[in-house]
């Protein structure tokens, strides 16, 4: 079988995963308007190529928080990778290491962070954090991540409560008995569990900007906030001294009706003005999507669902193949728009349709 684009991997995953698993991975909140608009928004943006440039040599490398990666696409934090492939996040970490890019490991991984590091000891990793009501659990996670050499903490800020995902409710989705959230083994013992294998309502709904200060006092690692969508929150993030922002609507899985990530990026870039690094997730499916996001101000993009499709196909090999396709498409889009390196990608390359 020859898979030539990310939508081919999506079709393969939909065909081969159990229906309940597929619907969990694909789910959006409520009517899924935001989930679907994440994809449509890229199609509304047009490219303005600069021609007659020497593009015989193309350099796709960039840096994020001072570390060089081979191209500006990383792997976003998603939970439960063993739903897609038996070795789960171990294969994800190996593929990211092989492609020399960043993997943001999820709090809700089905492999522990120690196992992830052991699987890909030379990998470049950030750790995604949810803060739970039992604050000691989050403290332990941050300290473990720091001791294991993770290079940043990515605080997800858009989940005081989980969004309503109708298919999961209809399917009574449960994490299979043979899987667990490995990072919490020994922490939430003897407590009733939710469908995700953790205590029900364990997420801390009482987060504030003071908790960003609290986290900064807990670790020397850079702090990246994931889930920012407005210039107002961007300005607050800059004021609170974070090192990065991931423009994200959680793949459309939280509040339905918020903007597509690529649309929100425009006002966030205007608010930041290069004071912190900006990244983006949501809806990236082609190399031209990557180019458009960088042209509008992102330093790097992260893929969520597509990484799970790659795992479903052939584990580590499948995810590496998917990343290579995206890298090749990005390189081609650079060449066809006249960009020899990432620094030449700018706002002049894109236009929005006139209304």
What CATH number does the domain containing 147 carry? 3.20.20.70
Any domain includes 65: yes
pLDDT at 195: 53
Whether 81 sits among the annotated catalytic residues: the reply is no
Any domain includes 1: no
Any domain includes 223: yes
The CA-based dihedral angle spanning residues 239, 244, 130, 22, taken in that order and rounded to the nearest 10 degrees:
140
Instruction: Identify the active-site residue in 132, 220, 240, 250.
Output: 250
CA distance 103 to 77: 8
pTM: 0.96
pLDDT in tens, the chain (355 residues): 789 999 999 999 999 999 999 999 999 999 999 999 999 999 999 999 999 999 999 999 999 999 999 999 999 999 999 999 999 999 999 999 999 999 999 999 999 999 999 999 999 999 999 998 889 999 999 999 999 999 999 999 999 999 999 999 999 999 998 899 999 887 765 555 555 666 667 788 999 999 999 999 999 999 999 999 999 999 999 999 999 999 999 999 999 999 999 999 999 999 998 899 999 999 999 999 999 999 999 999 999 999 999 999 999 999 999 999 999 999 999 999 999 999 999 999 999 876 4
Measure Cα distances from 287 to 47, 220, 321, 326 in Å: 12, 34, 14, 5
Structural domain including 143 reads 6-345
Any domain includes 354: no
294 with 342: CB under 8 angstroms? Answer: yes
Handedness of CA 332, 338, 342, 346 (dihedral sign): negative
Any domain includes 355: no
319 with 95: CB under 8 angstroms? Answer: yes
269 with 230: CB under 8 angstroms? Answer: no
Any domain includes 352: no
pLDDT at 223: 98
How many structural domains are present in the chain? 1
Any domain includes 353: no
Phi, psi of 280 (to 5 degrees): -150, 145
């Amino acid at each position: 079988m020859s898979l030539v684009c990310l939508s081919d991997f999506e079709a393969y995953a939909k065909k081969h995963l159990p229906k309940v698993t597929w619907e969990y991975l694909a789910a959006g909140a409520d009517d899924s308007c935001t989930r679907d608009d994440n994809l449509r928004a890229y199609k509304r943006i047009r490219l303005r190529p600069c021609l007659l440039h020497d593009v015989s040599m193309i350099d796709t490398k960039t840096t994020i928080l001072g570390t060089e990666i081979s191209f500006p696409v990383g792997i976003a934090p998603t939970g439960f990778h063993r739903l897609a492939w038996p070795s789960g996040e171990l294969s994800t970490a190996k593929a990211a290491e092989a492609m020399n890019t960043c993997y943001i490991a999820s709090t809700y991984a089905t492999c522990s962070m120690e196992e992830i590091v052991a699987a890909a000891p030379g990998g470049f990793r950030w750790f995604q954090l949810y803060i739970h009501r039992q604050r000691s659990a989050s403290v332990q996670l941050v300290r473990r991540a720091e001791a294991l050499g993770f290079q940043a903490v990515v605080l997800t800020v858009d989940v005081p409560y989980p969004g309503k995902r109708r298919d999961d409710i209809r399917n009574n989705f449960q994490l299979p008995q043979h899987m667990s959230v490995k990072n919490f083994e020994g922490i939430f013992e003897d407590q009733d569990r939710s469908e995700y294998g953790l205590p029900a309502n364990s997420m801390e709904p009482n987060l504030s900007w003071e908790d960003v200060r609290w986290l900064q006092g807990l670790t020397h690692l850079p702090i990246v906030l994931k889930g920012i969508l407005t210039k107002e929150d961007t300005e607050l993030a800059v004021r609170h001294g974070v090192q990065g922002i991931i423009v994200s609507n959680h793949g459309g899985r939280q509040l339905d009706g918020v903007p597509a990530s690529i649309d929100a990026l425009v006002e966030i870039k205007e608010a930041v003005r290069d004071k912190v690094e900006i990244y983006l997730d949501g809806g990236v499916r082609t190399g031209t999507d990557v180019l458009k996001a960088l042209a509008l101000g992102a330093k790097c993009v992260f893929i969520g669902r597509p990484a799970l499709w790659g795992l479903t196909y052939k584990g580590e090999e499948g995810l590496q193949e998917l990343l290579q396709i995206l890298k090749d498409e990005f390189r081609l889009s650079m060449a066809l728009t006249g960009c020899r390196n990432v620094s030449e990608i700018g706002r002049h390359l894109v236009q929005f349709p006139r209304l």
